[in-house]
Structure 1
Amino acid sequence: MISELRVTTVAVSDLERSRAFYADAFGYVTHGEATVGGPAAEAAWQLPEGLTGRTVVMGPEGATTGLLRLVHFPVPGRLYWGAYERRQDYGHYALNVRVDDVNAAVERLVAAGGRQKSQPTRWTVMDDLFAWDSLSLDPDGVILDVFQLEAGETNPLAGYDGRPSELQTVAIHVSDARRAAAFYTALGYEVLYDKLIENMESFFRLPPGTGLHNINLYMPGDTVNGRVEIAQYVGFPGKEQRDTAVPPNLGILSVSLETDDLAATSALVTGLGAEPVCPPVEVDLPPYGPALVRTFFGPDGEVLEFYQCT
């Protein structure tokens, strides 16, 4: 068994500022705090020797998945992907949060210290699903896709309690959407939608004539959150960021998926072409406690952390 995206790790420049921002903007509460460091964490998290970080895990009250793990390192880093200055870069680049009123949510976000990047734009996702989508930035410039949905009664995303959600999806820019989708479907994900979006260059800040091949994947089970959103800018090639998407640099460092058999999962993802970052190591993994952990580079250099609680 492999889970949906349980936790996304984001390095920030000021932990208390970011904690306050996500609390004020989305009502997120703290689910756990810890210090990460030592040889095992250095291997799994690609930490420079001797570097430690302080982490805070956040999400809606009662949430157990789609959580946000903020981490701060006491040395300066630079934002490796953000604000679309280098929008051709491959890797994890945006956190997606569902809200019931996108305009009110963006107002809260700006008041909390974030910035609005684009006005809400309505687009057709599926025949029975429409989105009011907006792009904003958190205090460090990490991209936040805050959106409001109009879903048909039978759509998988119809159920919603109106609160700002846990992380519904984490977006990843890839070189080949079909190849990336094949990798994640081999892990057990299923396609929610697959479409080529055109005439949205101004919204996505893309060169004229660039299409966006967007594939949204979910893990069947009790939640449709923790999804993978694949984005390929058709006709606008980029490059991997595996060398810069590492501590202490800022931004989305990794996503974490739970497994009940780390050895079998390691064999599966290695067979799919993923490159191991480290051998299995024992880590005290916030917010889950002791776990056997192994990280891999995905198809476009994105870091995937698989963990088995012990």
Structure 2
Amino acid sequence: MLSEVKLVTLGVSDLERALSFYSQALGYRLQARGDIPAELAALWRFDPALRGRWAVIAADDSGLGRIRLLQFDAPGQRLWHAGNLYNGSGYYALNFRCRDALATMQAVTAAGGSSAHEPSYWEVSEQVAVRDSINDDPDGIRLDVFSYERGGELRGALETEVSVVQTIAIATRDVARSVAFYQALGFETLFDRVLDFPELQALLGTDRPVKIHNVNLIKDGHIVPGRVEMFAYLEMEHLPDAPLRDAAVPPNIGILSASLRSDDLDADVARVLTLGGQLIAQQVVELPGVGRCAVASAFGPDGEQLELFQPQ
């Protein structure tokens, strides 16, 4: 059975700037770095003639919710922009818990990122309420930071100022299909709501009032980090689909993949394919930040790339 999301991969334009930003803004520390080998080209979908560098950063030494940064020697394009905001599909944002959302937002902007507004208050459920701020790193990669106003004890203690990656958000045009896929991989619904409140436009930084369907899934009902979240803008059915699948490749800039550990790679690949996923490549490689692994990359239901790895 597959794990929760252990690691997310981001394409960045300047590796050193990204390392500095995530250190200053979120307190993430460098764990390992190196050159990107050409043997990963099929798995990661890049031209093997390109050269690049990678670095893995983390909030702690737990091995949970880490970030892998990639920079290539060719310019890339940002995955998300005004033209696909409401009808794009694919990885959209990373979500982090912090002690103080306002202080973290201020750290993000001081380190070279940006934020459209101070944290908004919203009630996730009767038991949980948060202060939430949507921010961008220097490459425009969306970072959602939140702190609990109520109900934090339900998710356990926070050991660092900013957590490991809690959630990777996926924009979808078909929430039910996406949810069913991840439930079949062992994720369970944490909450499922239609969000429609006055502060939502300010929270999301949209240019119009919006309503979204939002579902948050937790692994095996209890593993707090490494969750997946699906959301769709409602009442946008008139817009054509704009999947990021073919654009979410190096050297482009944004969230490129999510990595899950497998105990039986062949069985898990078969399961993903049975559920409608598509295999990209499978091979044994030295996986940056992980070590020698059997690795399979595959598309999920929204064209998002999954990296499944089994240490050797």
TM-score (normalised: structure 1)? 0.94
SS at match of 2:243: coil
1:273 aligns with 2:276: yes
Residues 37 and 162 (structure 1 numbering): CA distance in 2 closer, same or farther, change over 3 Å? closer
1:22: Cα distance to partner? 0.2
Structure 2 match to 1:169? 167
Whole-angstrom distance in 2 between the partners of 1:50 and 1:286: 18
Corresponding residue number in structure 2 for 1:305:
307
**Is 2:297 the counterpart of 1:295?**
yes
1:126 pairs with 2:116: no
**Cα distance per residue 1:230-286 (max 9 Å; x no partner):** 1111122442111111111111010000001010001100000001112x2112112
Give distance in 2, aligned partners of 1:254 and 1:247. Answer: 11
Gaps of 5+ in 2: none
Corresponding position of 2:180: 182
Match of 1:91, SS? Answer: strand
Q: Which amino acid is 1:198 matched to?
A: D
Q: Which residue of 1 aligns with 2:265?
A: 262
8 Å CA contact retained: 1:151, 1:158: no
User: What is the CA–CA distance in structure 2 between the aligned matches of 1:144 and 1:152, rounded to whole Å?
Assistant: 22
Q: CA 1:72 to 1:81, structure 2 compared with 1: closer, same or farther past 3 Å? A: same
* Structure 2 counterpart of 1:109, one-letter code: V
Match runs of 1:195-210 below 5 Å = 195-199=193-197, 200-206=200-206, 208=208, 210=210
Say if 2:285 is the partner of 1:283: yes
1:66 touches 1:226 (CA, 8 Å); kept in 2? yes
Residue pair 2:132, 2:203 contacting (<8 A) in 1 also: no
1:259 is aligned with what amino acid? S
1:20 matched residue in structure 2: 20
Provide the residue aligned with 2:67 in structure 1: 68
Residue equivalent to 1:36: 36
Task: Indicate the residue corresponding to 1:212 in structure 2.
Answer: 212
Partners of 1:106 and 1:209 in 2: how far apart? 23
Identity of aligned residues (%): 38
State the 1:152 CA deviation.
2.7
Query: Are the equivalent residues in 1 in contact too, given 2:46–2:250 (CA < 8 A)?
Result: yes
| Equivalences for residues 224-239 of structure 1 within 5 A | 224-237=224-237, 238-239=241-242
Runs of 4+ in 1 over 6 A off after TM superposition: none
In the alignment, is the contact (CA less than 8 A) between 1:210 and 1:236 conserved in 2?
A: no
**Equivalence for 1:117:** 116
**Is 2:60–2:164's contact at 8 Å kept on the other side of the alignment?**
no
CA RMSD of aligned residues (A): 1.7
* 1:177-236 superposed Cα distances (whole Å, 9 cap, x missing partner): 111110001000111111000132343244656321110111137740011011111122
Determine whether 1:7 maps to 2:10.
no
Letter in 1 for 2:253: L
Q: CA deviation at 1:162?
A: 5.0
Secondary structure of the residue aligned to 1:90 is: strand
Per the normalisation by structure 2, the TM-score is: 0.93
- 8 Å CA contact retained: 2:84, 2:242: no
**Contact between 1:12 and 1:72, CA under 8 Å: does it hold in 2?**
yes
Please name the residue that 2:145 is paired with. 146
Supply the distance in 2 between the matched residues of 1:221 and 1:309 (Cα, whole angstroms). 25
User: Take 1:86 and 1:239, find their aligned partners in 2: how far apart are those partners?
Assistant: 6
